[in-house]
Structure 1
Amino acid sequence: MDITKTIVSLREAALLYGDYSTYRSQLAKKLHNSRKKLGIATKKRQQFHAKAPVTPQQIAENHEYAHLQLLTAERAFAHAMAMKASHAADTNGIKGSTRSHIVSRLEKGAKAAERLAAALSESEGASKVDVLEARAYVTLLKGAEHFEKQSWAECVRNYAITRIIYSALSTPAKADIFKDLLSETIDPSIRYAAYQLKIPRTQPIQTIVLRAFDHSDTDLVDRIKAVSPSVFESGSAEVKPGLAGPVDVPSSITWRRREVKIEDADIAVAWGSVAAAKSALAEKLSSSDSLLPRDMAAAYDGVLGAAQDAVDATQHAINELKGEGVQQSDPRMQSLQITRTAVNYELISWRIGRNRVLMGERDGISTDSALLSKRQLKKTQQHTENQKEEAPGRRIARLKEKVVLYDGTLQSLESIKELPGVAADEELAAQIEATCRYFDSLKALAIARSYSIAGNDTNALALIKYAHDKTQESGPVLRGQTSPESAPRNIVVSNEDVSKLDNLLSGELLRFQALVEIAKLRAKGTGAKVAPIPLVERLSEYPSDGVDLENIVAYPPRLDAIPVKPLYLDVAFNHVDYPAKHGQPASAPKAAPAQAAVSQEEAKPQKRGWFGFGR
């Protein structure tokens, strides 16, 4: 059974809409239902009798017995936390009687957890992970108990066992489960108890934990080493949840050729985690060339989370020094301000790199489908294979998404300018300003393409000219920067990126100038009211105003009607009466036979109509 996962899920579900009192009442109902399932619930109007302790055989037969012990321990913990929360607002603090009651509840919960851990260690069906999680839960409750007792040495010793077990069990799949317990409960308690024990703040928590851990318990040590042998490695190694293996803890941080010593252990551990996450990111991106942009962007989550932890740790250290009344001129405060600038710059740099991956190849200068999902990408490829053009609305929608990424990148660059010491660094300020111009030109290019799709080439030309000018301004500064092709994308804009964009904008500028000029000529040609007749069709007329050499023939040629003799003229010829068909003059000697023939023909009935049909 997943003990830690069960505890975390129960607490999250209850505390999401309530407090520890609500959590306690929910656990009471769950306990009653669990006893009902096992048939050991006390019936109404019957006296309660203490039940026998749970045996390993019972747990092996039915896991509900283990669940019963876990709910019992957790209810006692919820009762203690509810009392502590109710007296948190007291001006005089928690009094002795209330504190004793809280300690007794935590002690009761720890005893129930101990019975569960002992039964699981003797049970044959329990795995190594179950036994270690049960032991970690026992020391977690005991650490809270000694924290309330203000027994700081015992508190650190118990929490050290819990932290080492959770660090050994931490895997990428279970990182989120242990992260909240480590960051919100265990590490702050260890740090506060170490402060009470006069342990220097510069010591990392891992060093404190290894020194406080009881290595005489050989059985526990062997169980932990069987799961993770590297968890007991001493030195400058820190085990972080979600990262494979130990993390090197640096002692200093370098920012713009200035090296400062890291005096806070939490900052050192977080900065070491950033370096490990960067290596993991580079390895993941280089191992697979078939990742979609969205999958590549998801790989940045690890380094962004580690960088955010470093930022939070630095800000926490600065707030602590301010609370102690340390002035800004103090060397410790000056070192923390430099560290703050370095870690914030690193966070923003990787945030910009994630946006650049989402933009597509070469920061989105090509009209690719970088922002599409797998299903949409397959659909677009099918459209391309079938030679069907994609709908303009979809193309404009993708360009809008790119513009949003460019805006986010520009906002991140503006936030860098507000970091301490950036404005005084002329070289860095010039690089940031040139990078802003670079992404501003990319944004103008995307908007110009949307205007071109909508059919407004004039606005597209103006934006292309604006983008070209911005690129020309940023080129001399950015051309000195180099970045390996295999390295993950970050804030660094390489010389090749600037050259590609400059060449593209130069070509696009010429193309749109030609398109706008063609549109002007067309508008001028269509502005005439009546198109004049070409000269070839007016050869019978004398051109008194001169010959228009641009209108000699009709171009482009069009289909016109040609005048021809109709068929009806041949048919009508048979029905036309000519003078020669009637009588001849009387003096003609040979006219009599002809007249006789004509009179005979007139006596016959004549056919009327074109084809002999009478009317």
Structure 2
Amino acid sequence: MVEVTEFVLSLREKAFLYGDHSTYRTQLSRKLLNTRKRLNIATKNRGKFSKKPAITGTAIAEHPEYLHHELLTAERAWAHAMAMKASHSADTKGMTSKTRSHIVSRLEKAARVAERLVEALESGESGANIDDVLNARAYAALLKGAALFEKQSWEPCLQNYSICRIIYSALTTRSDRGDIFRDLLSETIDPSIRYAAYQLKIPRTLPIPAIARKAFIAAASPKVVDEVREIDAAVLDDSAEAAKGTPTTLTWRGREVKIEDAAIADAWASVGAARDKLTEKLASSGTLHPKDMAANYDDILAASQDAVDATKQAIDELRAEGVTQGDARMQSLQITRTAVSYEMISWRIGRNRVLVGENDGAKLEFGSTSRRKKKAEAQEVAERSKDEAPGRQIARLKEKAVLYDGILQSIESIKELPGVANDESLSNQLDATSQYFTALKSLAIARSHTIAGNPVNALALIKHALDLTQAATAPLSSVSDSTGPRNIQVTAQDVTFLRDTLTGELHRARALVEIFNSAAAQQKQQLQDQKTALPLLARLSVYPASGSVDLNNIVTYPPRLEPFPVKPLFLDTAWNYVTYPSPAAEGGAAKGRASPAPAVVKEEAKAPEAKPEQSKPAKKGWFGFGR
């Protein structure tokens, strides 16, 4: 037997990967036609349409394709309704009543087809078990609830969605693919139940499971209730829900507020469960690589983000109802928002602290960032730190600086939360925490300057980091040491370790600067000695820095054969005695085409003979260019 919900959701998932509801409807029409052809119930081309008989349990038992036929028919009607709703969602004037009635009719048709399928499966001839029948019933309730949601019939809509939620919650414990039901509950069913409950003026203090349980018992038949109890009795048990320990109050900085919204209470309970799970993982896993350890923070970060979103949604709903900021409910929600936001940012900072390495990156470690087992890691790190290229070491320190920047930005975002600026103790602690991580960032940059060969810059940065650490020691000295997961809390042990590390780095940097200055002075003296070794004749363009000139070394004696620059000489006189024979003297030249004779240089200078002037031919053409 095909599982109804999994079959339907797989069709939707494949269609929505590259298309929309219209594409999905087209695909369903093609699949439906092929199914009818295989069942031999398709209307022939140009044939007269005849109404087909209802699908029975016997037909489904003989040919499972009939089950696919009913599901494809219901899904095509649902896709048609969703396509129309999506096409009119951008209309500024809203949806017309005719369009809404058309959408409702398509959804009601889909619900009727699904209900017929439930009746066929309930018969003993179909061979379906209790899980298959409940699965089909939940799918029918889902379509019926969508139709009632569009009709704005809130009470029956809430009842149908509650039936759907309770059945899927029970089937989650029996099915191997419970994640499909969980996604459907969180994305479609729970928001619809919450909105219908809001329209029915049901208090937000009631959680969604309690609302769904009450509506399910009132709307479902005793047979369905018994079937659900047979699968999972805890779904309908109020004591099981109370045993989960959903918190009703929240304490922030010594002030206790009541949690009136059920969604916030559930999210805050999830944060507590994720915190315990993270503590257990880190305690039982032993030594982990920083990346592996940071990956364990994903669950608590997601849970705290859900709590922040639920609080923000509750505040927005109160503002939409016109509740002012001075109202007690709004004040409680603002305190809750600050508390859950502080919790979320605190774990985000803790994740970055884990990534920078041991002792918040104060130790100078250069190792592989890939996820590897810690086999003989101490020896490998020592060898890598010696052989690794300086550019790679600077890149690692740059990554640390980026993580420190993220931590500092998170601390600044905490200062902007409501009520934090008025808390002087918390503000001082945040300022000291900011100074602590700024000192770590300065230490990382100073180490990169040391590797690059700039010890003077490194010394200045380390001195600045030590000053910041000493300023942060007093406010953070009262924070007790904690063995739990890393978060925003900087303990006195962390500050003490950083101060001791910076003190040692400061002495080391001063020694390096002294060595650097000595080497520079020695190099300068060597250059000065090289200059003084030259005679004064070779140093005429250099001003004596000492003010005195060594007159004992004026020239090199005895003189050596050395090259010296000389201006090149051109013997221009020879050009006065170069003559070229005229063309007339070449009697054998043919119409000026013969090449001129080589130049003749006379041995003795003779006065040029006077030649009679020859008559110049008259110019022809424009500007003398013609012939």
TM-score normalised over the length of structure 1: 0.76
Q: Is 1:276 the equivalent of 2:273?
A: yes
TM-superposition CA deviations, 1:448-482 (whole Å, max 9, x none) = 22222223222222222222111111111112112
Q: C-alpha separation between the residues in 2 aligned to 1:21 and 1:319?
A: 34
2:213 is matched with 210
Q: What are the within-5 Å matches in structure 2 for residues 60-459 of structure 1?
A: 65-88=66-89, 94=95, 97-117=98-118, 131-170=133-172, 177-178=180-181, 180-214=183-217, 217=221, 220-221=224-225, 223-225=227-229, 228-234=232-238, 237=241, 247-368=244-365, 372-374=369-371, 384=381, 389-459=387-457
- Matched residue type, 2:399: E
Shift in Å, 1:138:
1.8
Q: Percent identity?
A: 59
Q: C-alpha separation between the residues in 1 aligned to 2:527 and 2:356?
A: 51
Contact 2:171 2:178 in 1 (8 A): no
Q: Is 1:502 the equivalent of 2:499?
A: yes
- Matched residue type, 1:233: D
TM-superposition CA deviations, 1:373-416 (whole Å, max 9, x none) = 22598898895587762233332222222222111111111001
Q: Is 1:462 the equivalent of 2:463?
A: no
Q: C-alpha separation between the residues in 2 aligned to 1:124 and 1:453?
A: 78
Indicate the larger mover: 372-381 or 188-197: 372-381
Indicate the larger mover: 65-74 or 505-514: 65-74
2:250 aligns to what SS in structure 1?
strand
2:387 aligns to what SS in structure 1?
coil
Contact 2:6 2:180 in 1 (8 A): yes
Q: C-alpha separation between the residues in 1 aligned to 2:20 and 2:110?
A: 19
Distance 1:282 1:379, change over 3 A: closer
Q: What are the within-5 Å matches in structure 2 for residues 25-36 of structure 1?
A: 25-35=26-36
1:367 aligns to what SS in structure 2?
coil
Indicate the larger mover: 129-138 or 144-153: 129-138
Shift in Å, 1:281:
2.0
Q: How many residues align structurally?
A: 525
Q: C-alpha separation between the residues in 1 aligned to 2:439 and 2:8?
A: 52
Shift in Å, 1:438:
1.1
TM-superposition CA deviations, 1:85-130 (whole Å, max 9, x none) = 3444667755555444323322222233335455666699867765
Indicate the larger mover: 157-166 or 40-49: 40-49
Q: C-alpha separation between the residues in 2 aligned to 1:4 and 1:354?
A: 39
TM-superposition CA deviations, 1:466-522 (whole Å, max 9, x none) = 22111111111112112432x121111122211221111111111111111112112
Q: C-alpha separation between the residues in 1 aligned to 2:59 and 2:379?
A: 61
- Matched residue type, 1:308: Q
Contact 2:408 2:438 in 1 (8 A): yes
Contact 1:87 1:94 in 2 (8 A): yes
Shift in Å, 1:326:
1.9
Shift in Å, 1:131:
4.8
Contact 2:279 2:485 in 1 (8 A): yes
Contact 2:365 2:381 in 1 (8 A): no
1:20 is matched with 21
Shift in Å, 1:160:
1.0
Contact 1:294 1:371 in 2 (8 A): no
2:363 aligns to what SS in structure 1?
coil
Q: C-alpha separation between the residues in 1 aligned to 2:127 and 2:505?
A: 71
Contact 1:14 1:23 in 2 (8 A): yes
- Matched residue type, 1:338: I
Q: C-alpha separation between the residues in 2 aligned to 1:226 and 1:428?
A: 53
TM-superposition CA deviations, 1:160-179 (whole Å, max 9, x none) = 12222333445899676445
Contact 1:380 1:390 in 2 (8 A): no
Q: C-alpha separation between the residues in 1 aligned to 2:12 and 2:336?
A: 36
Distance 1:252 1:287, change over 3 A: same
TM-score normalised over the length of structure 2: 0.74
TM-superposition CA deviations, 1:266-318 (whole Å, max 9, x none) = 22222222222222222222232244322322222222122111111211121
Q: C-alpha separation between the residues in 2 aligned to 1:310 and 1:372?
A: 33
Q: Is 1:525 the equivalent of 2:522?
A: yes
Shift in Å, 1:135:
3.0
- Matched residue type, 2:426: L
Distance 1:299 1:371, change over 3 A: farther
Indicate the larger mover: 448-457 or 72-81: 448-457
- Which residues of structure 2 form unaligned runs of 5+? 531-627
